[in-house]
Amino acid sequence: MPVPIPRQRAIPAVESGQAQAAPLDGPSKDDTPRKEATVDNNAATQLTLLVIEDDPGGSTVVPELLDPAGKPIRVRTARNLTEAERLLTDDVHCILLDLALPGSSRTADDDELAVLRHVLELAPRHAVLALTASGDAERGAEAVRVGAQDYLFRDELDGRLLSRAIRYAVERKRSDTAERRLAEGRVRAQENRRLERGLLPTPLLEGSSLRFAARYRPGRSRALLGGDFYDVVRTPDGTVHAMIGDVCGHGPDEAALGVELRIAWRALTLAGLCGDELLGTLQEVLEHERSDDEIFATLCTVDIAPDGRRAGLCLAGHPAPLVAGPGRPARLLPYDNNGPALGLLPGARWPRMQVELGAEWSLMLYTDGLIEGHIGQGRERLGQDGMVSMIRRQLSEGLRGEELLRAAVNEVRSLNGGELADDVAVLLLDREG
């Protein structure tokens, strides 16, 4: 049998034993995020309906309501928006709004659905049912277009209809919220991909006989890239410039800084800078762009002469490259004049070393993620010596180019017993005699 809407101000919460007076979406004394009102499929959760209508005669009738488990749905009532805001506690799941509710000074008088718009603004995470007269279906449909989950006719309410409408509205709101979050997540992912793609440049090697290969594996879970970066360009005089770097850390801020340093390096290189002058300018870029004074970056730059037989090498706190050739086992290039990482010492200098490569060679630049993985269950790390031995063996097995880099990264992961904690970047330049 239908029962009139009860006039209690707040029904005690099931779990806490008392009503929560703070509004869900209104101003609060602190910035602590509030829980989102959702329906738990667990039968122990009781649905709560907030009815907003102002007829003191109680002409609007709410029948007895039961949830899917057969438990009564709790009902709270508010005669105006001020009371509604106070009663919108975390355990309210759905709002039944009488569209005939008079507007307030906070709503526009010429908007028939101003009260609904206000409620949607007040409770953006709640399901809302619009209540209207039987002859006003058009207004109900407009309420749905504005943001309500459904509309009902005031004089056709019954327990089964309203109970079903409440459950439907709550589930539809949950679905809409999940869909919106998924869409927002896709947009963020697209933006991240656009940003992180800047760390995987297309090498500018037109006119060069050198072959290029690269491999990258981020340490950040589900990320495309981290704080490692690299690039290769050929300048008009025929010199091939290569670099690889590593911003300390491997989060999104480090990835963004790596993008900036890579782009700056390419621009400065194409403008004719190299060696100490180039690294000094990059340090200025890092100092201006980093979010914390303790952030630094290691860097290795190589400029290969047009004849391909020799190269200039600058190291800024970075591991020395590996070189190999016919009849010459893989070895590290000299690193005696390794300068400090960028961002550590103001006014630092980075000596440029001249190295002989020969007629045919493979030159591998890498970040420390490749050598800092563990070996088995112990604390021992692969290290540079272990990496050199590994590359020697893989070269003797006939691996070259992309295949060599893929095998190297996979073996390092296998030795580590799974994913590496740090980012790994490796690039390979080959010259055939």
> 77-81, 99-103, 204-208, 328-332: which range is least confident on average?
99-103
CA distance 307 to 409: 31
Q: Is a pLDDT exceeding 80 seen at residue 342?
A: yes
Q: What is the pTM of this model?
A: 0.60
Least confident interval from 62-66, 145-149, 180-184, 417-421: 62-66
Tokens of 284: 């200025």
Q: Are 342 and 289 in contact (CB under 8 A)?
A: no
Q: Which amino acid is at 249?
A: G
Q: Which of 324, 325, 299 is nearest to 313 (CA)?
A: 299
Burial 223-238 (b: 16+ CB within 10 A, else e): ebbbbbbbbbbbbeee
Element containing residue 321 per DSSP (H, E): none
Q: Is the dihedral of CA 162, 163, 166, 172 positive or negative?
A: negative
Nearest to 128 by CA among 111, 102, 146: 146
Tell me: the pLDDT tens digits for 306-317?
Answer: 999 999 999 999
Q: CA dist 221 to 198, 224, 414, Å?
A: 19, 9, 18
> Distance between CA 47 and CA 68 in Å, rounded?
10
- C-alpha–C-alpha distance, residues 355 and 337, integer Å: 12
**Which pLDDT tens digit goes with each residue over 39-52?**
444 345 678 888 98
Q: What is the pLDDT of residues 145-197, one digit of tens each?
A: 999 998 888 877 777 788 888 888 888 888 888 888 888 888 877 766 665 56
Query: Which tokens in the block code for residue 304?
Result: 């290969």
Measured between alpha carbons, how far is residue 26 from residues 75, 119, 123, 173 in Å? 21, 11, 8, 20
Candidates 246, 248, 389; CA nearest to 415 is: 389
> Which amino acid would we find at residue 418?
G
Query: Looking at residue 418, what is its pLDDT?
Result: 87
Give 96-120 as a 3 state SS string: EEECCCCCCCCCCCCCCCHHHHHHH
